[in-house]
Amino acid sequence: MEPFSPLEPKAAAETGSSVPEKKFRVLVGVTGSVAALKLPLLISELLKIPGVEVKVVTTERAKHFYNPQEIPVPLYSDEDEWQLWKGRSDPVLHIELRRWADLMLVAPLDANTLAKLATGICDNLLTCVIRAWDLRKPLLFCPAMNTAMWEHPITAQQVEQLKAFGYMEIPCVVKKLVCGDEGRGAMAEVWTIAESVRRVVAERDLPAQS
């Protein structure tokens, strides 16, 4: 069998359809917050939005919180970046992904990755995608961290910096956290996140296939 591009899901490559259906491409970034437990549910809700195609970029720490077998869409991590690139003519995964996506959603966005994004650090696949992100396209982020971390003064500065880049915040909420504390810092509910994406999709025309 002919090899297929890691950016083209195998199922799509085998359909034999000569006229590709227009899709709104959503790239989900998931980081090392316990809220990553909700990734399977989030993907399920996003796939209910008509015309949406989803792929996921994960950090290594986020892998601790979900079972990849429960993710029904292409899932990329740091290892894929280095396996794909062997020489000068090979595609660079973080660039290919930013080209592919019409919208990026980072959910959850943990405190560590928030700090990286605010200062431009790009030391893994996810942060490289975001550093190279086309600012004409929407990027939504969902902070998630312990209340004490959320209330640290630098957190507000970093959130404001992301908003200054043009990124859209889906605010965290007050609830009892996994650690037992109660307060603000929990990721927004999955239905809230999915509805935010749905609104953005509705506001934008479906892109022409490249």
Residue 40 covered by a domain: yes
Quick: pLDDT tens for 165-204.
999 999 999 887 766 777 799 999 999 999 999 999 999 8
What is d(CA 13, CA 150) in angstroms, rounded to the nearest whole number?
44
The label of the residue with tokens 């591009």 reads 5
Residue 132, pLDDT above cutoff 70: yes
Residue 13 covered by a domain: no
What per-residue confidence (pLDDT) applies to 9? 42
Q: Name residues whose C-beta falls within 8 Å of residue 71's C-beta, 6 or more positions apart in sequence.
A: 39, 40, 43, 56
Residue 133 covered by a domain: yes
Average pLDDT on 130-158 reads: 97
Average pLDDT on 152-172 reads: 98
Average pLDDT across the chain, whole number: 88
- Contact between residue 80 and residue 125 where contact means Cβ atoms under 8 Å apart: yes
CATH number of the domain within which 138 lies: 3.40.50.1950
Residue 1 covered by a domain: no
- Residues designated catalytic: 179
Identify the domain containing residue 57 by its residue range: 23-203
Residue 129, pLDDT above cutoff 90: yes
Full-model pTM: 0.87
Residue 4 covered by a domain: no
Residue 18 covered by a domain: no
Residue 7 covered by a domain: no
Amino acid at 68: P
Domain count along the chain: 1
Residue 208 covered by a domain: no
Amino acid at 153: P
Residue 40, pLDDT above cutoff 80: yes
Average pLDDT on 28-56 reads: 97
What per-residue confidence (pLDDT) applies to 29? 99
Average pLDDT on 146-169 reads: 97
